[in-house]
Structure 1
Amino acid sequence: MIRLGRKVPRPRVAAFLAAVTLGAVLASLGAGWRTGPPTGDLSAGGPSPRPLTSPGPRRPSCAEVAATLTPRRRLAQLLMVGVDPSRVEPALRLAGSTGVGGIFVGGDDTALLVDNRLAAVRAAAPVPLAVSVDEEGGRVQRVDRLDGPLPSARVMAASMTVEDVHALARTRGAALRARGVTIDLAPVVDVTGQPDDGVIGDRSFGSDPAVVTRYASAFARGLAEGGVLPVVKHFPGHGRASGDSHRSAVTTPNLADLREVDLVPYRQLLGAAPVAVMVGHLNVPGLTGGSPASLSPATYRLLRDELSFDGVVLTDDLGGMRAVSGRYPLPQAVLTALVSGADIALWSSGDRVEEVLDTLEDAVADGRLTAARTSEALDRVLRAKAVCS
């Protein structure tokens, strides 16, 4: 879930010319994650509609793109790392030197989100860069000082129609896209009746799974139509967990109970709009065997097999939340998440990237992280960026 409250600072995701170099190819594809209506390609500036009758240029296959990257750069595409939101230079260095697949812009400072500063960061990246924020509304929002505040999810559900929320999210998605953001780590689809100031609380659309489904679906569709990829969270459900995963390990109701309540929105949402899924650091009796869900292969099997989801799956913050960081060093947590089935490992602090990549390379060399698992994750990431077909 990345952050607990609005005011808590954090350091903390064109035409193809077939006969040119990879750098020119990827520059021509822009920085976009594939969202929005199927008639348009998304570049850094937003949707660019194209008639359905146009054959369009051929995109390279994902295998072709992967073959042009060094093994270390392939692994780097599976990382989303926090950057300092107040300065351009650290983000430039990170994108250029490590080739990470995405950055996360957190905190209250908006310097990186104005004056087209993200364009230089994207230009430094060897593969189109995913840029993420967590713009939920209420106490978790990033651009309220720039583009106006959004109400919390609970207030939206209590005071707005589904159509109103859809329109609001579409407008906010377009505003984010115009600033260079390609991913919004929202909406929250946790089902809860917690007080407003609870760890999920007013970040949730409510305690009724049907209400959560309707409003979260509208919010996700609006974001996608605005040009950013929505990320539904926190799978398989933080709303009724025992505590706050920022501070300690937490436990949810058992899996059978989750199926009746917390997983209901996912069954509807995962096929209704282009979305990614964020997995929380939740111990689920009957599923995770005492491990956090984000580091449990059973969690990803539940998502892939039972819920038939084949989109991008990323972790919650692996470096800044005690449910994981209190038990696992960051490089080990990243490796375990990727081996277990995550496509993107996220951490908000922005440090230790080279150390993480060293660990991943060692794991590939000794077989702990298989070529098949790496290729599967890389294909999903590259396809979501519309880099390949």
Structure 2
Amino acid sequence: MAIDPGLRRLALGTLLSAFPGHTAPEWALRLLTEGLAGHTLFGFNIADAAQTAALSAQLREASPAVLVATDEEGGDVTRLAHLTGSPYPGNAALGAVDDPDLTREVYASIGADLAAAGVNLDLAPTVDVNTADDNPIIGTRSFGNDPARVARHAAAAVTGLQAAGVAACAKHFPGHGATVTDSHLELPTIDAPLEVLRARDLPPFAAVVEAGAKSIMTAHIRVPALTDGMPATFSRAVLVDLLRRDLGFTGAVVTDALEMRGAAGAAGGIGNAAVLALAGGADLLCVGADVDLELTEHVAAAIVAGVGDGRLPVARLEEAVGRCRELAAWATPAGRAGAAASDLGYAAARRAVRVEGTVAGLADPLIVHLESGHSIAEGPVPWGLGPHVNGTELVRVVAADASAEELVARAGARPIVVVGRHNHRAPATRDLIERLAAAHAVAVVEMGWPSAWRPAGARAYVTTFGASLANGRAAAEALGLAL
């Protein structure tokens, strides 16, 4: 059966697609001329600043009102600097400093970088209140575990980004900070009553609404008090009753990637997830990263079918498209501010570093870098002290496979600096660090979400609140090892 071209155009007008490569394929450009809202750029689309600007210009030539989106949070989640690590600290570091003016300045500088690259929709900031210390997906992406602190920095971040002419997208509504599972991999549950959500999770979203955030992203989480068995992304109780009526949000509601198991798995496929999200009150649908023409057309066709069988009223689809167009109109052309501030990110990261104990006597150490995995949101971005300590011996080890005795022997008379992320979470990591500290002069650098755990006998414990390039440089300086 032929698809109604008018409905297809409306369906495309709700989609953020994606494509592989450093230049846009023909189909990605053609769909823009046929109504596609825009594309999300991932690390695999980005080589350097000049190439990214050229790619964005290529997309804008196909559709002047295109939304060019990316996840540029600074800190551990960066797309523009995925090859080196971000020159800015992330939210946890900014929250630790607790200077909202600094947060606004950092996000204004990130916005200037994005505008120069032709990006006009930043899928940031993360404004979740990270109340679960072992949260596998938020962690250092959060400004902290205190709702009031997160709220003031969330508002500052939105203000800074949007001063640069880049639309902010605060995420993940109604709050992903209390989860201990990753919605990329499954559907997490937050089993808390509404009054707890209002006190703990919602203040940052109220703050970004007040600050004028142009868009807010949904969370693929189950909140039984509101959503029954389905994710918040599909829930009118969350997206309409709570976000629009209670909090007064009038901008575009953007979904997290529909390819994630928290959405596609719960809906029985990406196409059905798109219909449920639109019917639930979402406006702009992120399809995901692994996207091609076939998948984009499949999702558009599923939306058209949803209108045809009555699951999705055409008026709701038209409303969603209208909000997407309003968002694009505000964000086009990209960029209303000046250049990024030189070295601002490093100065901010330096203010966040916390040192317990003494770093005296740590000259010329053996640096033991504890290899760790990365979340899907972060991707394989370089981190650690390596770029900042040329000439200092650095060994990379997996804690479960490493021998404390061999590392001590290798160090000899030199002290050892152990660098890791989320060191407290793995028994093998804790055991290795404690064995080293019991036998040798050891300093520990924690570049993940901090905890109360401290290894007995460690000479110094350095917390950076993130693992960006800026955080690594600040840590090296705090240890007296910087170039």
TM over 0.5: yes
User: Which structure 1 segments of 5+ residues have no match?
Assistant: 1-68
* Residue-pair matches, total: 318
State the partner residue of 2:328.
385
CA contact (8 A) 2:147 2:204 kept: yes
Partner of 1:337: 277
2:14 maps to which residue? 78
Distance 1:190 1:280, change over 3 A: same
Q: CA shift at 1:331, angstroms?
A: 0.5
* CA deviation string 1:159-208 (max 9, x = no partner): 36211111111121012011110111111110014448732111100011
Q: For residue 122 of structure 2, what is the aligned residue in structure 1?
A: 184
| TM-score, length-scaled by structure 2 | 0.62
Report the structure number with the largest CA radius of gyration.
2
Match of 1:103 among 14, 18, 39: 39
Which residue of structure 2 aligns with residue 290 of structure 1? 229
Q: Deviations over 1:90-138 (max 9, x none)?
A: 674454465310111113551385342221122123x611011111122
Counterpart CA distance in 2 for 1:218 and 1:330 is: 34
TM-aligned CA deviation for residue 141 of structure 1 = 0.7
Query: What secondary structure, in the 3-state scheme, does the structure 2 residue paired with 1:291 have?
Result: coil
AA paired with 1:105? L
8 Å CA contact 2:32–2:66 kept in 1: the answer is no
Instruction: Work out whether 1:307 is the aligned partner of 2:259.
Output: no
Q: Distance between the aligned counterparts of 1:110 and 1:357, measured in 2?
A: 26
Unaligned runs of 5+ in 2: 332-483
The CA distance in 1 between the partners of 2:84 and 2:115, in whole Å, is 13
Query: Residue 372 in 1 paired to residue 309 in 2?
Result: no
Q: TM-score, normalised by structure 1?
A: 0.76
Among candidates 94, 107, 114, match of residue 50 of structure 2: 114
Q: For residues 200-279 of structure 1, what are the structure 2 equivalents within 5 Å?
A: 200-252=138-190, 253-279=192-218
Q: Distance in 2 between matches of 1:187 and 1:121?
A: 24
For structure 1, which segment, 196-205 or 109-118, has the greater mean C-alpha deviation from structure 2 after superposition? 109-118
Measured in 2, the distance between the counterparts of 1:363 and 1:194 equals 37
1:339–1:369 CA contact under 8 A, matched in 2? yes
Which residue matches 2:418? Answer: none
SS at match of 2:286: strand
Deviation at 1:251, TM superposition (A): 0.7
* Alpha-carbon offset, residue 296 of structure 1: 1.5
Letter of the 1:380 partner, please give it. R
SS at match of 2:105: helix
Q: CA contact under 8 A between 2:20 and 2:44: conserved in structure 1? A: no
CA distance in structure 2 between the aligned counterparts of 1:112 and 1:88, rounded to whole angstroms: 15
CA contact (8 A) 2:91 2:141 kept: yes
Q: In structure 1, which of residues 131, 137, 146 is the aligned counterpart of residue 68 of structure 2?
A: 131
Distance 1:318 1:94 in 2: 22
Distance 2:261 2:178 in 1: 18
* 1:143 corresponds to: 80
Q: Mean Cα displacement is larger for which, 151-160 or 260-269?
A: 151-160
SS of residue paired to 1:227: coil
- In structure 1, distance between residues paired with 2:38 and 2:254: 11
1:218-268 superposed Cα distances (whole Å, 9 cap, x missing partner): 111100001100100000000002421111111113322111110011122
Which residue identity lines up with residue 143 of structure 1 in the other structure? L
Change in Cα spacing, 1:250 to 1:148, as seen in structure 2 (3 Å) is closer
Deviations 1:137-166 (A, max 9, x none): 221011125895211210112136211111
